[in-house]
Amino acid sequence: MLQQRFYSKYNLINIIISLIPLSYIAGNLILNLNILILLITTSILFRTEIFKVELNKIDKIILLFFVYTVFNGVFNNYLNFNFSNASDQNVVLNKSLLYSRYFLLYLFFRFLIERELINFKLMFWSFGLASLFVSIDVIIQNFVGKDIFGFEGGSRRLGGPFGEEYIAGAFIQKFFIFLVFGILLFFKTERRWLFNILIFLVLISSGMGILFSGNRVPLFLFILTLALIFFYEKKIRHVLIILSIVFMTAFAYLIKTNQDIYYSYIRFAHKSFQIIDYAKERIKTDRVDILNAHIKEIESGILTWQQNKFFGGGIKSFYFNCTKINKFMMENYLKSCNSHPHNYYLEILGILGIVGFLIILIMFFVVTVRALKFIHFSENITEKSKFLIPFFIALIIEIFPFKTTGSFFTTTTSNYLFIILAFVVGLIQSNRLKKDYEKK
């Protein structure tokens, strides 16, 4: 295996990477510190070599996105940010410049992947086991009333190790796939029944952890992830079928016996249909009926974007521009503004405008098409090529447009997205370079 050739300095990098999920649990300060240590360590070890990575077309589109973000920040900060109540009058410029660090993160991971310095086995196990830990902690919290850290749960939502920040379900949904593929790729046994039981236990624990967390959108995304795994991994399709039967039975039982869960999902379904009806009416008649909080966020996102259609208002400007919405609309329908509209694409429109929206849309489209072509039509599937599928599935789920989300420009979202993106692009590129070398 590649990792057997590494000296301790390479192992140090992989240990830092393996701690990323735990940093998520510890909070943004520790996550930022972990990423900073990774960037500094990689810089010290490889210096200018990092910047000799050959940029492909996707890399250049991603670079264009970050360059545009900086110019957008300069433009909006000095020409379009007129809010005397802002504590920092240069907040848009400062946040735009600071956001550029995610291109460095992307580039550094691209370098590590291309140079074959990633210990995939350690990464998959550490990412996956962190997800399993959170799942078990939430399940304990549900049945005992407290998790292993002493955090008590609410009536409907449980935070597990995240305390009163109810994001445990989202964390499990983002990272559980690495444990599934860690077993598929690295767990070697002649006992097929043991392999199947292990996969089943991981999946049922993850599903129940998300269900008990009360995070409904992550549960939907978990099911969507399982559907994609079912499509790509024939080896565990029978396990997934059994899992579906068991999980649906357990879910039906909980719906019947737990009123909090029952009313939560009844409201979720009702609000989902209201959003569909709202979207139809909005397109046909431009008429607004604010039937629930999610529609309010969607409408505030649309109205905020309409103030600066082409270039948006700049990073960290959404709340300020939202407060400028038509007084009648604000007083009679919206009532208040949040810091983001709880959907990546509406937020990108409001912050970066149509120009930024098109750049990132092209970026996602090109990456998706390249990945699909490589997975389905490549003639040279190497051992490392198999690692692409979980990252590709994770990316598709992350950029899925019809979901409520946190802010696109936060630490947790941007770190996860650009790390996953780096692996998808890096694995495609490194395999292409290998094929070109073998032809010579």
297: closest CA among 339, 254, 253? 339
Mean pLDDT of 410-434: 87
DSSP 409: T
Mean pLDDT of 125-153: 94
Least reliable range by pLDDT among 160-164, 260-264, 301-305? 260-264
Residue extents of the structural domains in the chain: 1-48+118-257, 53-99+290-440
Using only C-alpha atoms, the chain has a radius of gyration, in whole angstroms, of 23
pTM for the model stands at 0.93
Environment class of residue 79 by beta-carbon count within 10 Å: exposed (0-12), middle (13-18) or buried (19+)? exposed
Least reliable range by pLDDT among 2-11, 232-241, 363-372? 2-11
Q: pLDDT tens digits for 41-80?
A: 999 999 889 888 889 999 999 999 999 999 999 999 999 8
Residue 112: its pLDDT value, please? 94
Residue 429: its pLDDT value, please? 85
Residue 391: its pLDDT value, please? 97
Residue 4: its pLDDT value, please? 44
DSSP 339: S
Residue 328: its pLDDT value, please? 77
Q: How confident is the model at residue 431 (pLDDT cuts 50, 70, 90)?
A: low
- Phi and psi dihedrals of 329, rounded to 5? -60, -40
Residue 2: its pLDDT value, please? 43
Residue 325: its pLDDT value, please? 86
**Is residue 219's pLDDT more than 80?**
yes
Q: How confident is the model at residue 326 (pLDDT cuts 50, 70, 90)?
A: confident
Least reliable range by pLDDT among 218-232, 283-297, 332-346? 283-297
Q: pLDDT tens digits for 359-384?
A: 999 999 999 999 999 888 876 555 66
**Is residue 28's pLDDT more than 90?**
yes
Residue 6: its pLDDT value, please? 47
Mean pLDDT of 330-352: 88
Amino acid in the structure at residue 311: F
Residues in CB range of 130: below 8 A, 6 or more apart: 21, 22, 24, 25, 175
**Is residue 407's pLDDT more than 60?**
yes
Q: What is the mean pLDDT of the chain?
A: 90
**Is residue 435's pLDDT more than 60?**
no
Mean pLDDT of 192-210: 95
Residue 433: its pLDDT value, please? 47
Residue 238: its pLDDT value, please? 95
Q: How far is CA 419 from CA 67, 108, 164, 411, 415, in A?
A: 19, 9, 27, 12, 6
87: closest CA among 306, 301, 319? 319
Q: How confident is the model at residue 8 (pLDDT cuts 50, 70, 90)?
A: low
**Is residue 167's pLDDT more than 90?**
yes
C-alpha to C-alpha distance for 59 and 243, rounded to whole angstroms: 39
Q: pLDDT tens digits for 88-114?
A: 899 999 999 999 999 999 999 999 999
**Is residue 115's pLDDT more than 80?**
yes
**Structural contact between residues 339 and 373, judged by C-beta atoms closer than 8 angstroms:** no
**Is residue 135's pLDDT more than 80?**
yes
DSSP 146: B
Residue 113: its pLDDT value, please? 94
